[in-house]
Amino acid sequence: MRAVNYMKIDYMLTKQQLRIMLPLAIVAVLVGRGMGGIGVMVTCCYMLFIATLFSTAPFGSCSKKNTGFLLMLPGTVTERVAGRFLYGMSYIVMTVIICLAGMGVYSLFGYKITWMTLGLFLCNLALAIVIVALEYLISYVFGEGKNNWQYLGNVVRVAPGMGMFFLFMFILEKADKEPYAMERLEFVTQRIVFVGALALGTALLIMMLSAIVCVKVIERRDYA
The residues spanned by each domain of the chain are 2-219
**Gap between the Cα atoms of 6 and 87, Å rounded:** 9
Q: How distant, in Å, are the alpha carbons of 25, 50, 67, 82, 145 from that of 6?
A: 26, 22, 13, 8, 17
Going by pLDDT thresholds of 50, 70 and 90, the confidence category of residue 2 is: confident
Rounded to the nearest integer, the mean pLDDT of the chain is 81
Most confident of the ranges 8-17, 144-153, 171-180, 209-218: 209-218
Per-residue b or e along 53-90, where b marks 16 or more CB atoms closer than 10 Å to that residue's CB: bbbbbbbeebeeeeeeeeeeeebebbbbbbbbbbbbbb
Going by C-alpha positions, the residue among 111, 92, 96 that lies closest to residue 40 is 111
224 pLDDT band, cuts 50/70/90, is very low
Torsion on CA atoms 171, 175, 178, 182, rounded to nearest 10: 100
Least confident of 131-140, 155-164, 194-203: 155-164
Q: What is the mean pLDDT of residues 54-65?
A: 73
| Residue 199 pLDDT > 50 | yes
Farthest CA pair distance, the chain = 60
- Other CB atoms within a 10 A radius of the CB of residue 110 amount to 6
Q: Is the pLDDT of residue 64 over 70?
A: no
Structure-model confidence comparison of residues 49 and 37, the more confident one: 49
Distances (CA, A) of 158 to 47, 57, 68, 162, 166: 14, 10, 27, 6, 13
Number of H helices, E strands in the chain: 11, 0
Taking the C-alpha atoms of residue 59 and residue 97, their distance in angstroms, rounded to an integer, is 25
